[in-house]
Structure 1
Amino acid sequence: MASAIVSWVWRERFWFPDNVTWADLESGVDYPQAGHLLYALPLALVLFILRLLFERLVAKPCANILHIQTGERRRAQPNPLLEKVFKSKTSPDHSHLEQLATELKWEVRRVQRWFRLRRDQNRPTTETKFCESMWRFTFYGGIFVYTVYYMWDSPWMWNTRHCWTNYPFQPMIQGQYIHYFAEFAFYWSLMFSQFIDIKRKDFLIMFIHHFATLLLITFSYGNNMLRAGALVMCVHDASDIFLEAAKLANYAKYQRLCDILFVLFTLVFFITRLIIFPFWVIHSVLIESWEIVGPYQAWWLLNSLLLVLQVLHIYWFYLITRIAVKSIFKGRVSKDDRSDIESSSEDEEINSNCNKKSV
């Protein structure tokens, strides 16, 4: 049964154009092998541990230097009945509150206050958010610089038609291998940590985004679309750097710097994800590859996933525009429309990780 499933998933007619087989890519030339991606799973665990060490040994000392407080909050007094209700419903309606107040012989306002304090206990502190953003900023900045460095002399960075020259028989260079495995491991680590990180309103959307990213990395690596895949990841990383930098400035209460970085983020996001990505990268994968290679089964799936990402980009840019409009009228970047769940502050910090990217 297992062998039949494996054979179905890795059938050649799905992954490659006609007359290309797996054996053709095992000829001694350094071509990508789909099985190599399994090595990224333990690397994802290493990245997750590295993140914990980075936040503890680097990010927290930086937060202390910038006088970012841990923000200790008042804790709700222990109450088994209210705690049981809280696990199923964090914000009961008024009738439910009255019922609980009657059972406990409390005033309704006291029950309301208990739920407010209990929700606040689950909200991450500014220090926690600062550490998370600093880790992401460090990764995005480092991988973007590395990607531009190794691709700078590559003809396919400047002329996307080279992405399909002699495809799929394009030997893999070391820079592509390192880039792909770093991104693949990072997104697997995000999939792990998403369930313990700051929980946001768009949890499901980000889960879909991470899942689509991992699928795209897997497919593009498995059928040797490394050139186009590297371009996609590079385009996405560019704006994430400015987003995380803006959040860091906001948490440190450098509001003017935050506003400047947010404007830069908005411009870079628009240029990279709404212009370069659809009209340069997707155009290459959709049109140029059709002209040079021709469509095949995996080709349709890859283009579908890229179009899904583009839809998400449009949605995120809508949210970013709302924030930008508010900042114009209020004089500063205000509440993020993707802010933390149960946030009670009307002037919440920027907590969006609009990122993302994917291959």
Structure 2
Amino acid sequence: MVANGTTAKRRKPSAASQAAAATEPTEPETVVDFVLRRQLELSGGILAAIVVANAFTNPDLHVSTDLTPDPAFHFRSIPARFLHLSFRQPGTDLYFKGRDDGFLIAWWVIAFCFLREATMRWGLRPLARWSGIRSSRAVVRFAEQGWLLVYYSFSWSIGIYINQTSPYRNLNTSEFFKGYPHIALTALTKWYYLVQTAFYLQQILVINLEARRKDYYQMFAHHIITSLLMMSSYVLNWTRIGSAILCTMDLVDITLPLAKLFNYAGWQAASDVTFAVFFLLWIVTRHVIFGRIIWSIIAEAPTILPFGWSSREGYFWSKRTYWAFIGLLGMLQLIICLWFAMILRVLWNMFRGHSAEDTRSDDEDENDLDPSETEDETDATTCDDDDETTASELESSVASLPRNGGETRNGGGAGVRRRRQVAGAVTERIPEFGGANEHAAMDPVRREKAPRQ
């Protein structure tokens, strides 16, 4: 930062430093690094092999009761189980649940690895550069957020359709429990539930394969709890509650990536408006509506359903189940509240201009406050340290704001510009609360050089 408050340009590495870096000994490539570097080819090859095997294999569809409470169509062919929904009831469009559903989940875990990397590499990164973004870090971040926007827009659209065409539409929570157990599902509901489960399992894979960040434990806990809730609710026939919660959560995860995309592209006004919408939706969906769903399980369910357990009938509503669901949902709400407290603290300091202890290292580049700034592309690994951002770092950006109405030694314009940069930084650096996180795709250029913990 120079004296007049403007940011200094990041210097390009000299030829000597580049030559020295090229001659440094490199560590041998690990299996994890190889998988990350070749994830597109590996995942695409596995998917292609399954498709080819299915094409040359008779699916051998037959009716059986081996894995279902009533007769249903089963696949003897293993490749067919990866590609098709299993256990359709004869003469209906409804499907039972069973262990063969794990094949479809595995297919989509691999498919998400392929789709995410392919979409980012061939679609979103070129779009970022076409939009005028030159920073390597901003290009990668733009691609990450673009993928999240694409996925959550798709998943929320399906989720809201399922919810609004179901008896429990408009948060009619009593319908969660009436007629339980809800054993058979429509094809769309079953597919939606299994694909969403695969998405969160793939996110667990991503955050554990790449270098850990400062929000690793929060995101890991969130994804573990979410995956446990989805799989247990599926097996125990509580998919109505699960579908409602998924739809409620996904809406917020559309607005935050959109705000970040606007910020990277330099559309600060659109970013600010979208972030305001995100803030309001966060309160409504993750605290009001989600809290209402939790309360319906606590207070409403015992008045409608008697406690009991019958594996043959698919009735799994014991006191142990009751408290297990409440405990997991309560832990999820606790994580959400912690994230919300961080948002409030950041916004409070931003608008009030209060001081905050600057915990950033002295050599942190101030240019990171303006991700849309054009700069020559350098090795993306030089940006890895900027990815680990905490609330204290956000507050330190806020602390550097002028407190006299934006006036600086160069006049009010620089102060206003600085405020807009910090607003952009707040939008950029808030992690993916509750949804799939902002962790990079399994891309080796984003991994830190330090050994994994």
Q: TM-score, normalised by structure 1?
A: 0.71
2:351 is matched with which residue?
328
Aligned-CA RMSD value: 2.6
Deviation at residue 191 of structure 1 after TM alignment: 1.1
- 1:194 partner SS: helix
Matches within 5 A, 1:1-359: 26-28=69-71, 30-71=95-136, 125-158=137-170, 159-195=172-208, 199-279=212-292, 281-293=293-305, 294=307, 295-296=317-318, 297-329=320-352, 340-341=387-388, 346=397, 347=422, 348=425, 350-357=428-435
Identity %: 26
Q: 1:291 to 1:38 in 2, by over 3 A?
A: farther
Whether the 8 Å CA contact 2:67–2:99 is kept in 1: the answer is: no
Q: 1:195 to 1:68 in 2, by over 3 A?
A: farther
Distance of 1:342 and 1:292 partners within structure 2: 46
Deviation at residue 171 of structure 1 after TM alignment: 2.1
When you count helix as a share of all residues, which structure comes out higher? 1
- 2:132 partner SS: coil
Whether the 8 Å CA contact 1:44–1:189 is kept in 2: the answer is: yes
Unaligned 5+ segments in structure 2 are 1-64, 72-88, 90-94, 308-316, 354-368, 371-385, 398-421, 437-453
Q: Which sits farther off after the overlay, 145-154 or 125-134?
A: 145-154
Q: Which sits farther off after the overlay, 193-202 or 304-313?
A: 193-202
Whether the 8 Å CA contact 1:237–1:357 is kept in 2: the answer is: yes
Whether the 8 Å CA contact 2:67–2:98 is kept in 1: the answer is: no
Q: 1:355 to 1:314 in 2, by over 3 A?
A: same
Q: 1:302 to 1:218 in 2, by over 3 A?
A: same
Distance of 1:310 and 1:303 partners within structure 2: 10
Higher relative contact order (CA 8 A, sep 6+): 1
- 1:195 partner SS: helix
Deviation at residue 195 of structure 1 after TM alignment: 3.5
Divergent runs of 4+, >6 A: 342-345
Deviation at residue 329 of structure 1 after TM alignment: 4.2
Q: TM-score, normalised by structure 2?
A: 0.57
Amino acid aligned to 1:62: L
Distance of 2:235 and 2:270 partners within structure 1: 42
Q: 1:155 to 1:198 in 2, by over 3 A?
A: farther
Q: 1:198 to 1:260 in 2, by over 3 A?
A: farther
- 1:209 partner SS: helix
Deviation at residue 233 of structure 1 after TM alignment: 0.6
Q: 1:184 to 1:169 in 2, by over 3 A?
A: closer
Amino acid aligned to 2:434: K
Whether the 8 Å CA contact 2:248–2:290 is kept in 1: the answer is: yes
Distance of 2:155 and 2:389 partners within structure 1: 33
Distance of 1:200 and 1:242 partners within structure 2: 23
Larger radius of gyration: 2
Alignment: residue pair count: 277
- 2:128 partner SS: helix
